Structure 1
Amino acid sequence: MYDKVMESKAFIEKSLKEQPKVGIILGSGLGDLVNVIEDKVYIDYKDIPNFPQSTVKGHAGRLVSGKIGGVPVLCMEGRFHFYEGYDMKEVTYPVFVFKMLGIEKMLVTNACGGINTDFEPGTLMIINDFINLMGTNPLMGHNDERFGPRFPDMSEPYSIELMNHAKLVADKLGIDYKEGVYAGFTGPYYETAAEIRMIGRHGADAVGMSTVPETIVANYLGIKVLGISCITNMATGIQEMKHSHDRVVEIAKIASVNMCKWVEALICEL
Structure 2
Amino acid sequence: MTEPFALAAEAADFLRSRFDVDRIDLALVLGSGWSSGADRLGEPLGDVELAVVPGFSTPVVSGHGGHLLLSRTPAGKVAATFTGRTHYYEGRGVAPVVHGVRTAAAWGAGTLVLTNGCGGLNPAWAPGTVVLLADHINLTGDTPLLGATFIDMSEAYSRRLRDLAHRVDTALPEGVYVQFRGPQYETPAEVRMAGILGGDLVGMSTTLETIAAREAGMEVLGLSLVTNAAAGLSESALNHAEVLQAGRDAGPRLAALLAGIVGEL
Tell me the TM-score normalised to structure 1 length: 0.92
**SS of 2:92's equivalent?**
coil
- Please tell me the residue identity of whatever aligns with 2:154: S
CA distance in 2, matches of 1:91, 1:52: 11
- Of 37, 41, 44, 1:39 maps to 44
User: Structure 1 stretch 4-13 or stretch 95-104: which is displaced more?
Assistant: 4-13
Q: Relative to structure 1, is the Cα distance of residues 256 and 71 closer, same or farther in structure 2, using a 3 angstrom cutoff?
A: farther
Query: How many equivalent residue pairs?
Result: 259
- Please tell me the residue identity of whatever aligns with 1:91: V
**SS of 1:3's equivalent?**
helix
Q: Does 1:131 align with 2:137?
A: yes
Contact 1:15 1:41 (C-alpha < 8 Å) held by counterparts: no
* Residues 1-270 of structure 1 mapped to structure 2, 5 A cutoff: 1=3, 2-18=5-21, 19-37=23-41, 38-69=43-74, 70-139=76-145, 141-142=146-147, 150-171=149-170, 176-270=171-265
Q: Deviations over 1:16-37 (max 9, x none)?
A: 2533211000001211111214
Q: Deviations over 1:78-130 (max 9, x none)?
A: 11101111201110011111111000001000000001222111111000000
Contact 2:44 2:69 (C-alpha < 8 Å) held by counterparts: no
Give the alignment's Cα RMSD to 1 decimal: 1.3
CA distance in 2, matches of 1:269, 1:3: 32
Q: Deviations over 1:147-184 (max 9, x none)?
A: xxx1010000000000001001113xxxx422100001
CA distance in 2, matches of 1:232, 1:214: 21
**SS of 1:24's equivalent?**
strand
Residue aligning to 1:146: none
User: Structure 1 stretch 1-10 or stretch 187-196: which is displaced more?
Assistant: 1-10
- Please tell me the residue identity of whatever aligns with 1:34: A
- Please tell me the residue identity of whatever aligns with 1:245: H
User: Structure 1 stretch 201-210 or stretch 248-257: which is displaced more?
Assistant: 248-257
Q: Relative to structure 1, is the Cα distance of residues 24 and 196 closer, same or farther in structure 2, using a 3 angstrom cutoff?
A: same
How far off is 1:142 after superposition? 4.2
- Please tell me the residue identity of whatever aligns with 1:267: V
Q: Deviations over 1:32-60 (max 9, x none)?
A: 11121422411112111222331100111
Gaps of 5+ in 1: 144-149
Contact 1:71 1:267 (C-alpha < 8 Å) held by counterparts: no
Deviating 4+ runs (over 6 angstroms): none
**SS of 1:134's equivalent?**
coil
**SS of 1:92's equivalent?**
helix
**SS of 1:39's equivalent?**
strand
How far off is 1:202 after superposition? 0.5
